[in-house]
Structure 1
Amino acid sequence: MSGPENVDRVLITAGVVLVVVAGALLLVRVSRGPSMLDRAIALDVFAAVVIAGLGAKSAYARDSFYFPIMLVLAFLGFTGSVGIARFIAVRDKPQPRRGSAGKGGRG
């Protein structure tokens, strides 16, 4: 192998190590998350970390086999995030106060 190929391998290996560390920290956030929203966001970021890991594997092997899988995972992560956001928005919708319709603070 030549010098640039060695540099590529070292950088890809360092990227894989960072992806693994990020995945481990995200699993800790999923297990300990103080709220359900924190857990949902951590799972969404975990999907992005899996996509990054597949991209690193694809770059290391110099093979484009995983690109369609990465695309499908990105789509699933996006739709999951939108679904969670809609669920949280409906659940946390502020309720109007009773008896305050005619009592304006101004005027």
Structure 2
Amino acid sequence: MSTVIMLSLVLMSLALCLTFVRLFRGPSLPDRVVALELFSSILVGFIGVVAIASDVPSLLDVAIVMALMAFMAAIGFARFLERGGPRDD
């Protein structure tokens, strides 16, 4: 494996660990959701680097699907906040 790929994987692994800590120690719900969004973005990048390193292009499809799912989750949370949180409708 290339040095650049290995360095990228190590740094993204460190970022995933730090984001995981923020996910569980976040003081509020929006902080945790932002950490979850960051976690999914880093994970998509991680899968992209692994796809390049292993020369398996089908992993890029997995990364695209994960990115779309993370985007839809962010949209859902934004609508949740726009409506003022949980209600008894």
Same amino acid, percent of matched pairs:
28
Matched residue count: 85
Match of 2:6? 13
TM-score by length of 2: 0.90
Q: Which amino acid aligns with 1:62?
A: D
CA offset at residue 69 of structure 1? 0.6
TM-score by length of 1: 0.75
Distance in 2 (CA, whole Å) between partners of 1:51 and 1:30 is 17
Once the two structures are superposed, residues 14-39 of structure 1 have per-residue CA deviations (whole angstroms, 9 ceiling, x without a partner) of 00011101100000001100100000
> Which runs of 5 or more residues in structure 1 are unaligned?
1-5, 93-107
User: Larger Rg: 1 or 2?
Assistant: 1
1:82 aligns with 2:75: yes
Structure 1 runs (4+) greater than 3 angstroms displaced: none
> Which runs of 5 or more residues in structure 2 are unaligned?
none
Larger % of helix: which? Answer: 2
Q: What is the RMSD of the two structures over their aligned residues, measured on CA atoms? A: 1.2
